[in-house]
Structure 1
Amino acid sequence: MSIWWSLQLRREASSVPLARRLLLGAMETAGVDTDITHELCVALTEACANAVQHGGGGGAVYRVTASIDGDVCRIEVTDSGPGFPADPPGPRRESQALAQGGRGLQLIEALSDASRFGNHPGGGGAVVSFDKVLKWREDALLRAS
């Protein structure tokens, strides 16, 4: 079984708890293990906070899309800001990111099984996407068979 949902939220700090609560409710209702749900909620909070803080440009909104397909949850947060810098990966980039904040992206990487940080093709905003393999409670409604 699979489900997905998408939200368009105002680029305001008050929208972050709303996104987190919706994800929490969906995961609890589906029967996802509490520890996995917590990790997903923390990662989502960091991705949304990034969109709120850096997603300026011409957009007053950002989008959160989440899906469960089998045993994998994928979450994507997109904004219409300037996107991520085009610096090549490596230690210099990591130290620059930490100096400017950047710990949220590292937290997303640590809490997920796969993460991607990029920009919309042709510019126009950042895309933060991460996947997490789910564990299910015994009473799970959506447990993959």
Structure 2
Amino acid sequence: MDISFTVRLPVHVSSVPFVRGLCRQALEHLRVDRTVVDETTLALTEACANVVQHAGPDADYEVSVVIDSHVCRITVVDDGSGSDGGQIADRAELERAPLVGDGGTGLRLMQTLVDSLDVRQDPDGRHRVSLEKRLSGRPSLRLLDRN
């Protein structure tokens, strides 16, 4: 069974637990391993919290979730005036970013929790965060070797 949904939400702190709950229920309905559910919903929470923190107060954002038997794909899109998603050029640059300090901590967290992370600003100016998490196989929680 596949599950997919898209919701458009106001940029408000109360929208984050709402969409996290929708995603969690869908994954649990499909009997996905609890660790995978927790990692996926934490990454989604961080992506949505970034929108709430950085998008303008009158903006909306959209969350799309597509789950099949192998992977969960999540896209969070906002058209707020937040920071430029193009700041993170590639995985290597993200891995060199400090764990604490001038930002990027949430992006590092999301990268650690999921198998694929893409952050970009679309040509139309919308900010897009795309996450992919495998639903089976080895756990994808990766600690970065700083040596």
Instruction: Judge conservation of contact 2:86–2:119 (CA < 8 Å) in 1.
Output: no
Tell me, what secondary structure is at the counterpart of 2:97?
Answer: helix
Shift of 1:99: 3.2
RMSD over equivalenced CA pairs, Å: 2.4
Distance in structure 2 (CA, Å) of the matches to 1:135 and 1:37: 11
Q: Deviations over 1:13-42 (max 9, x none)?
A: 111010111111111111111000000010
The number of residue pairs the alignment matches comes to: 132
Aligned to 1:139: none
Aligned to 2:118: 116
Gaps of 5+ in 1: 137-145
Aligned to 1:34: 34
Aligned to 2:140: none
Instruction: Judge conservation of contact 1:55–1:126 (CA < 8 Å) in 2.
Output: no
- For residues 1-145 of structure 1, the aligned pairs below 5 Å read 1-56=1-56, 59-82=58-81, 83-84=83-84, 86-87=86-87, 89=89, 90=93, 94-95=97-98, 98-123=100-125, 125-135=126-136
Q: Normalising by structure 1, report the TM-score.
A: 0.80
Gaps of 5+ in 2: 138-147
Amino acid at match of 1:17: P
Shift of 1:87: 4.3
Amino acid at match of 1:108: M
Amino acid at match of 2:79: S
Q: Which has the higher contact order (CA 8 A, sep 6+)?
A: 1
Change (3 A) 1:56 1:135: same
Please identify, of 1-10 and 36-45, the stretch whose mean Cα deviation from structure 2 is larger. Answer: 1-10
Distance in structure 1 (CA, Å) of the matches to 2:28 and 2:135: 12
Change (3 A) 1:85 1:48: closer
